[in-house]
Amino acid sequence: MPIIVQKFGGTSVADSQKILAAARKAIRAQQQGNQVVMVVSAMGKNTDLLVDLAHQITDHPPAREMDMLLATGEQVSVALMAMAVHSLGHKAVSLTGAQIGIKTDSIHTKARIQSISTERMQQLLDAGNIVIAAGFQGIDEEFNITTLGRGGSDTTAVALAAVLKAATCEIYTDVDGVYTTDPRVAPEARLLSRISYEEMLELASLGAGVMHSRSIEFAKKFGVSIHVRSSLSDTPGTLINSQPESPDQPVSGAALTRDEARITVCGVPDVPGSSLAVFSRVADRNITVDMIVQNVAENGKADISFTVPRGELKSALEAVGEAAAELGASGVLFGDDVAKVSVVGLGMARQTGVADRMFRALADEGINIEMISTSEIKISVLVARDDAVRALRAVHQAFGLQDIPTITDYSLTHGAAGGAAKRAAASARAATDPADVVARLQGVNMEELVIDDVSLDQTQARVTMMGVPDTPGVAAKTFEEVAAAGIFVDMIVQSYGHESLASLTFTVPADRVAQSVEVARRLADTFHCKGVTSSPSVAKLSVSGVGLRSHTGVAIRMFRALTERDINVAMINTSEVRVNVVVDGTQGPAALEALTAAMADVRR
């Protein structure tokens, strides 16, 4: 019999009527011929109330006791839910994390799942029960209660779906599903019928707070198909699996991260180890760095720019100050009035002329771009915070995200009856070998960092425009011209422009470098830039996997491995599922070797 996992968030179990409504949904699914596992969060704002209570007692509650306290929220919900199912005439058994056998590490308040036993749940299901599992909690080796971090019930639900080989994991929440952007910021946002794991991961990390990022990482890793739906209505919701909504659409969603701050370390010697010196100090303070942009060196000195959450600016500046002194950097610039606007889409990896559409939309609004960083499936720009909402809406509009895509059926574009979607879904599941999942999970950390691949691309060249005026429209014009020449641009970085001059670097196929330089020179004349430099061959190294962001050490590991081999990093970009670095063309194989060795212990 197929198994369905149904997760109900706090708002979906906020009072007795809602608990009964949730119980009815589960019973209905059982009557349709499924075995049903419910995963339940604490009622309403109960977790917040418990946190509050703890802080009324002390400013520093011990983490172990915090977990002891917070786990009670879910215990209340599961007991009431089981009673609700009983009252409706059906069988149910509630279980805490410990009773299920959800083993975690001992990092209280943000524990990671190590293994889950399925026997007890399976026996209860086979005996006709609805199993009601407490979300968000587990138990460590010493039988201490642990919790998975705020919002962690999603992760419990997806993990249970993975080990039980569930047909689907339904997430019931107070929104209708996943939108193209935050509807509170842009009322024209549209509900997506589906979205791919990678896109969802990028959007979740950008603050599209529909689901806990870790739960999506899990789902991707184990091929769990997720269905996000409203608990209040019977609307179709959003499917999250390996497929984007439309195979033809370059962009699936847009997001705004409002509270960002930028830091630039100026005049850093362009030698191996400089990036490591800066970012290892920042990482030591547990600050997540984003949009790392290093401009290409002039006279042996480079500028390293990056963003941090605004609230962490002070602490990041301390870290950077130390590094700057050690490196003999010429200065540190910063600003805390910026926001990041990003577009995300699996489709952009295969198309030309995507970035320039975004830049054009911003230029037409007169919005200046302070920094640019792109990865295979994401383009992010930094803009003034005052421009942020206007920027988001302009970009959303430019990619037509408010309109329902005309082609959403994969079988139409890929021929063959039955559809490529089904085949792709089948192969995604085959790749994760569901029959083996349970076996593989025992004794391994389910949430451990997993690297799928370390690869080298030696087909690209670099072009840099130096001293680009830091004014609206420059990036738009540049990449429109490059796209008009039919040149596929892979990476783009624009450094923060101090003294009103930025540098704009991009990579192109090596056999198009001469033509790209020509275009860049022509533009450099128009913009009165300082000049154009290029490198006929660069090596791009990519480390891809799952959990690259929640395990912030990945980029540091890469910097360290390259520094040890005396290899200089010229460009870098990061996303949820991939970190790319560009090094000199002659150093590709050595860099590949260094990175492969550095990642060996976390390789799938």
Interacting residue ranges for ligand ASP, rule: CB under 6 A: 9-10, 41-42, 47, 73, 135-136, 150-153
Which region, left, alpha or beta, applies to residue 107 given φ > 0 means left and ψ of -120 to 50 means alpha?
Answer: beta
Q: How far is the CB of 148 from ligand ASP (least distance, A)?
A: 8
CA dist 584 and 227 (Å) reads 44
Specify the DSSP class assigned to residue 366.
T
CA dist 39 and 154 (Å) reads 8
CA dist 230 and 176 (Å) reads 5
Q: How far is the CB of 449 from Mg ion (least distance, A)?
A: 26
Q: How far is the CB of 48 from ligand ASP (least distance, A)?
A: 7
If the CB atoms of residues 22 and 538 are measured against ligand ASP, the closer one turns out to be: 22
If the CB atoms of residues 7 and 429 are measured against Mg ion, the closer one turns out to be: 7
Radius of gyration of the chain (CA): 25
Retrieve residue 185's tokens. Answer: 């910021």
Residue type, 578: R
Q: How far is the CB of 205 from ligand ASP (least distance, A)?
A: 17
If the CB atoms of residues 148 and 519 are measured against ligand ASP, the closer one turns out to be: 148
Closest-CB residue for ligand ASP? 153
If the CB atoms of residues 111 and 513 are measured against Mg ion, the closer one turns out to be: 111
Q: How many chain residues are in contact with Mg ion, going by CB under 5 A?
A: 2
Q: How far is the CB of 155 from ligand ASP (least distance, A)?
A: 8
Beta bridge partners of 231: none
Count other Cβ atoms within 10 Å, centred on residue 603.
Answer: 13
CA nearest to 476, candidates 540, 527, 442: 527
Q: How far is the CB of 287 from ligand ASP (least distance, A)?
A: 22
Closest-CB residue for Mg ion? 10
CA nearest to 63, candidates 10, 114, 105: 105
If the CB atoms of residues 25 and 340 are measured against ligand ASP, the closer one turns out to be: 25
If the CB atoms of residues 7 and 103 are measured against Mg ion, the closer one turns out to be: 7
Report how far apart, in Å, the C-alpha atoms of 569 and of each of 269, 329, 455 are: 12, 17, 16
If the CB atoms of residues 161 and 369 are measured against ligand ASP, the closer one turns out to be: 161
Q: How far is the CB of 255 from Mg ion (least distance, A)?
A: 21
Of the residues 8, 10, 168, 460, which one makes contact with Mg ion according to CB under 5 A? 10
136 binds, among Mg ion, ligand ASP, none (CB under 5 to 8 A by kind): ligand ASP
CA dist 319 and 279 (Å) reads 9
If the CB atoms of residues 41 and 550 are measured against Mg ion, the closer one turns out to be: 41
Query: Which of the stretches 4-12, 54-62, 211-219, 449-457 binds Mg ion when contact is defined by CB under 5 A?
Result: 4-12
Query: Which of the stretches 10-18, 81-89, 496-504, 575-583 binds Mg ion when contact is defined by CB under 5 A?
Result: 10-18
Q: How far is the CB of 451 from Mg ion (least distance, A)?
A: 31
If the CB atoms of residues 67 and 270 are measured against Mg ion, the closer one turns out to be: 67
CA dist 240 and 238 (Å) reads 6
Residue 152 makes contact with Mg ion by CB under 5 A: no
If the CB atoms of residues 39 and 513 are measured against Mg ion, the closer one turns out to be: 39
Contact of 185 with 339, CB cutoff 8 Å: no
152 binds, among ligand ASP, Mg ion, none (CB under 5 to 8 A by kind): ligand ASP
CA nearest to 139, candidates 165, 164, 115: 115
Report how far apart, in Å, the C-alpha atoms of 69 and of each of 46, 57, 100, 138, 451 are: 11, 13, 19, 13, 35
Q: How far is the CB of 151 from Mg ion (least distance, A)?
A: 6
Report how far apart, in Å, the C-alpha atoms of 213 and of each of 53, 209, 406, 578 are: 27, 9, 29, 15
Q: How far is the CB of 11 from ligand ASP (least distance, A)?
A: 9
CA nearest to 323, candidates 280, 263, 354: 280
Those residues with Cβ within 8 angstroms of residue 468's Cβ, 6 or more apart along the chain or in another chain: 474, 494, 497, 501, 502, 503, 504, 527, 529
If the CB atoms of residues 150 and 498 are measured against ligand ASP, the closer one turns out to be: 150
CA dist 226 and 178 (Å) reads 12
Q: How far is the CB of 314 from Mg ion (least distance, A)?
A: 29
- Which residue do the tokens 């830049």 mark? 359
467 binds, among ligand ASP, Mg ion, none (CB under 5 to 8 A by kind): none
Phi and psi dihedrals of 568, rounded to 5? Answer: -85, 135
Stretch 11-50: interaction string toward Mg ion, x if CB under 5 A? ------------------------------x---------
125 binds, among Mg ion, ligand ASP, none (CB under 5 to 8 A by kind): none
73 binds, among Mg ion, ligand ASP, none (CB under 5 to 8 A by kind): ligand ASP
Residues that bind Mg ion (CB under 5 A): 10, 41
